[in-house]
Amino acid sequence: MHKVTLIPGDGIGPEISAAVQEIFAAAGAPVTWEVHDAGQTGLDRLGDPLPAATLASIAATKVALKGPLTTQVGEGYRSVNVTLRQTFDLYCNLRPVKSLPGVKSRYAGIDLVIFRENTEDLYAGVEHRVGRDAAESIKIITREASLRIAQAAFAYAAKNGRQRVTAVHKANIMKLTDGLFLAGAREVAQQYPGIRYDEVIVDNLCMQLVLRPVAYDILLAPNLYGDIISDLGAGLVGGLGVVPGANIGQGGAIFEAVHGTAPDIAGRNAANPAALIMAAVMLLEYLDEGACAARISAALEMVLAEGRTVTPDLGGTATTTDMTAAIIRKL
């Protein structure tokens, strides 16, 4: 039995987290949950957006499932998501972007995996004011971080039969920082001669993803570019409601729904639980519980393909509870 920290999150987070718990129970998933607060809920209940008890639980279990958390814009507390990644050195953000049956999209056949460096770049949060009317943010790229995210991408490609890794950059302008990132990617690529390696400038990549997204296999990117193209990729397959994410380090991992808290529908039993379910499937795979993961994934895809019991954002009229029950029936 695996102990897993569960952070239900804010907004619709508790509703979709409850859906995952019900599905895991029905599937007999060998998981026990330690439930803790963070984000706005943590601030409201415990006076801290990232309570010590939550951090202690993740440190002990070394694996967590996290619902969406409120991130205040331009003010307030620092992003809890960023803090968690840096606290536990979760350097690898893994985002599968895949076409799903029954999910409406302009494209078909997309099967893309994005590897985003998760701890530095402009997201290191090193910024300051310069006088009254200017501010500076420092972009940090290191050889160590570049090597380990590249190693993660190529190791994944080798393990999963992927054929190509494409490094994303803007080294034509940021020659030192993005140049260092590319140097790390090239060094690791030499260790995997059977995997094709190439590079693409980030603005060109965005255009190419819109024109022909099936042309890419694995994308390897620094933090900021990876964040942007991850959401672009989600838009290609139906939106953030059908894309999971993982933050992985040497000693642990946090799996998450990457969509927002959707406060406009919170408490209305209308939230789509698919993304968090998919993240929970990735969690089971990480725990080497592949058979259980496959059963849950297959049940979800059957419900999506049928399209009869899905939430309004997926074109249906079902409630969160209805969709959860339909998935359980398919197990």
Q: Which helix (DSSP H) or strand (DSSP E) does residue 204 occupy? A: helix 202-211
DSSP state of 28: T
Phi, psi of 220 (to 5 degrees): -115, 120
> Which residue out of 170, 217, 231, 330 is catalytically annotated?
170
Indicate if 203 belongs to the active site: yes
> Which residue out of 123, 197, 216, 286 is catalytically annotated?
123
**Cα 55 to chain centroid, rounded:** 19
> Which residue out of 10, 121, 178, 227 is catalytically annotated?
227
> 152-183 burial string, b = 16+ CB within 10 Å, else e?
bbbebbeeeebeebbbbbbbeeeeebbebbbe
Secondary structure class of 121 (helix, strand, coil): strand
Task: Compute, in degrees rounded to 10, the torsion defined by CA atoms 245, 248, 253, 255.
Answer: 0
Q: How far apart are CA 26 and CA 296, in angstroms?
A: 10
> 70-95 burial string, b = 16+ CB within 10 Å, else e?
bbeeeeebebbbbbbbbebbbbbbbb
Q: In Å, how far are 90, 169, 183 from 188, measured between CA atoms?
A: 20, 16, 9
What is the DSSP track for 159-189? Answer: HTT--EEEEEE-TTTSTTHHHHHHHHHHHHH
> Which residue out of 3, 44, 198, 203 is catalytically annotated?
203
Indicate if 170 belongs to the active site: yes
Provide the annotated active-site residues: 123, 170, 203, 227
